[in-house]
Amino acid sequence: MPKILRNYRSAVRRGAAVLLVVGFAILGAIASGRAGGDDTIKIVSHSGVHAFSVELATNEFERERGLMFRKELPDGYGMLFDFHTDQIANFWMRNTYIPLDIIFIKSDGHILHIAENAKPMSDDLIPSGGPIRAVLEVIGGTARKLGIAPGDTVTGSIFAPGH
């Protein structure tokens, strides 16, 4: 077999192996339902400082999937949707099995609006109420239980100065 053909076959095998590994990594991320990364944010309210471990939804695919198909969400955990720029947003609860508090956050870190205990499996639109940078979804009832309200401040890496 000519040397050039052996080199070509070897390169094709290496390329196929890389694609296979990447494909399995993508399928694993999709199957796990996990978003692109993790962070910790804090909400400063009149009742204190409340920390949340959050999954980050930073691209279109992650934002579209959100917390769909999840059967549970522990207290102190959530998903933070980063839109990267201020915009008006509407959320819904399609394919979402658990009630959620949907917290709409302005680019300066202040909470604009909270939709409490959004109804699971609903296609009703839940509006942000104005331009927002991000949305935090936590288990339903969290905002009321912790005394979180519009005007409270959210701190975290995406709300740092210059973002």
Token pair 């390329």 is found at 15
Q: Give pTM, 2 decimals.
A: 0.77
Please list the alpha-helical segments (H only) found in the chain. Answer: 3-32, 60-65, 142-146
The mean pLDDT value for 96-109 works out to: 97
pLDDT tens for residues 11-48?
555 554 444 333 434 434 443 444 558 999 999 999 99
- Gyration radius of the chain over CA positions: 20
Question: Smallest Cα–Cα separation from 116: which of 132, 93, 134?
Answer: 93
pLDDT of residue 9: 59
Beta partners for residue 80, in sequence order: 56, 136
Helix, strand, coil percentages in the chain from 3-state DSSP, rounded to 5: 25, 35, 35
